[in-house]
Structure 1
Amino acid sequence: MAPPPLASREAVREERFSDVWSNELNDAFADIARYYDRANEIAALGLWSTFLKRFMQTVDIKPQQKVLDVCAGTNAIGIALLKREPTLDVHAMDRSAEMQTVGQQNATALGFQIKSTIGDVHTLPFPDNHFDVVTLQFASRHLRVREVFTEILRVLKPGGHFHHSDMLRPRNPIVKNLYYAYLKTCLNFTSLIVGSSPAATKFKQYFIDALDLFYTAEELSIVLRELGFVEVTVDTVFHGMIGFHRAVKPATP
């Protein structure tokens, strides 16, 4: 089934998933936190670290910059950034205290400091024009995209860079159907291997449904431009299954 038109996509996603996003998803991620990184590596057939490396290659950073990682999870992005440039001032925000607890443990074990904020990323508790770089990886399918991207645009400094990566809805219907079949299989296998709790296991169908109502790489580029970002570019892998977007806040209003 074709997704709704781009203009009404967010309203349809909100109607379909609002209750899950608001009331249920946090419990699932609270359980997933303890094995999140391992589960991703299993589900991605060992390619998870490769996806992270590919994403990091798109991120522009300079010494002393202030960086915000939105939906930071276990701080994989913040840690990778600090390994590359230890002088960065890295902030992490996530709604899951459990995920950030694991993330803080991961950062501390490597001698890195990442400033953590727990809260709803749809309303970022930071001033306007505050960050040089904002990153967001593998979370937008669970968010009100236009709200979060608007907040990211607000907190970026003029000329600041937004780097985004996520699983996307392939444009080719054959690729899409093969992709969904693979995801259903690997989610079942991964949940069995890592011993997912019922709170996490019941969301397997949701993950497929959320992706089916998400955006293609081209559609997400349009959304970024409509919200006011410029210099929007995207690289994709696996025929559009995963996309790496880069966008810039205009230097002048």
Structure 2
Amino acid sequence: MSPPPIAERDEFRLSRFGSVWKNDLDDIFVDVAPYYDRANRIASLGLWDWFSRRFMAMIDLQPGERVLDVCAGTNAVGIALLKREPTLTVHAIDRSAAMQEVGRQRAEALGLHIDSTIGDVHVLPFPDNHFDVITLQWASRHLRVHDLFREIHRVLKPGGHFHHCDMLRPGNPVVEKLYYGYLRLSLPVTGLLYRSGRAAMNAQTYFIDALEAFYTTEELSEVLRGIGYCEVEGQSLLGGMVGLHRAVKGRPGGPCPGVAKHRPKHGSR
């Protein structure tokens, strides 16, 4: 069954999954936090690091920039960015204190500092036009996408870049059917392997249902453009099972004037 049109999608998702988002997600992530990254590598048949490398390759950085990692989880992105450019100021926000505690320990073990905020990412506690780069990965299917993307647009500086990565709904119905079939097999196996608790095991049906009601890569690109982002680029991996996005906040004076398609990467002239 196809989800409703894009304009109605988030309202539909909220009505269907709002109770899970409000009441269950915290318990799920308390459960999976200690083994989150390892379990994803197993469930993805070892492709997890490849997804991460493709995502990181889209992110351009300049020395001294201010970065916000939304739904930062175990700080994998913030750590990778600081390894590439140690002069960055990196902020992380996530609703899960358990995931962020794992992330704090990982960063400190490497001698890195990431400022952490625990809170609702739909209402970002930062001023307008504050960050040069904002990232969001592996979380948007659990969120009100339009509301969050607008908040990210608000706190992003004009000319700043937003980078997104998540599991998406494939546009091809054959790929979609195979995808969900694989997840129905792999999620219970991974849960048993890591001895997941009741909260995570009970959420397996939700994870698939949430994807069925989610967006394709192309649809998320349309959402970003509708909010006012410029230079929106979307990449589909594995037939649309995973999508990557890059978008720019336009500068004053018009919707998208004066924004270069690509900033020079760190070290280039």
Give the TM-score range, shorter chain: over 0.9
- Give structure 1 regions of 4+ aligned residues with deviation exceeding 6 angstroms: none
CA distance in 2, matches of 1:70, 1:104: 15
Which letter does structure 1 place at the counterpart of 2:192? L
Which aligned pairs between 1:83-162 and structure 2 lie closer than 5 A?
A: 83-162=83-162
1:2 partnered with 2:2:
yes
Structure 2: tracts of 5 or more residues without a match? 254-269
Q: Is 1:185 matched up with 2:185?
A: yes
Counterparts of 1:115 and 1:102, CA distance in 2:
14
Pairs within 5 Å for 1:206-225:
206-225=206-225
State the Cα deviation string for residues 109-140 of structure 1 (Å, max 9, x = none): 01100000000000000000000000000100
Q: Which residue of 2 aligns with 1:26?
A: 26
Instruction: Give the AA of the match of 1:107.
Output: A
Partner Cα separation in structure 1 for residue 19 and residue 235 of structure 2: 32
How far apart, CA to CA, are the structure 1 residues paired with 2:131 and 2:200? 33
Q: C-alpha separation between the residues in 1 aligned to 2:14 and 2:34?
A: 29
TM-score between both structures, scaled by the size of structure 1: 0.99
Count of residue correspondences? 253
Counting aligned pairs with the same residue, the percent is 63
- Cα drift, residue 23 of structure 1: 1.1
How far is the alpha carbon of 1:47 from its aligned partner? 1.3
Partner of 2:258: none
Paired AA for residue 136 in structure 1: L
Structure 1 residue 229: deviation in Å?
0.5
What TM-score do the two structures reach when normalised by structure 2? 0.93
Report deviation, 1:5. 1.1
Corresponding residue of 2:260: none
Letter in 1 for 2:43: A
For the residues of structure 2 that align with 1:240 and 1:248, how far apart are their CA atoms? Answer: 22
Which secondary structure does the structure 1 equivalent of 2:240 belong to?
A: coil
RMSD value, Cα: 0.7
**Secondary structure class of the residue paired with 1:239:** helix
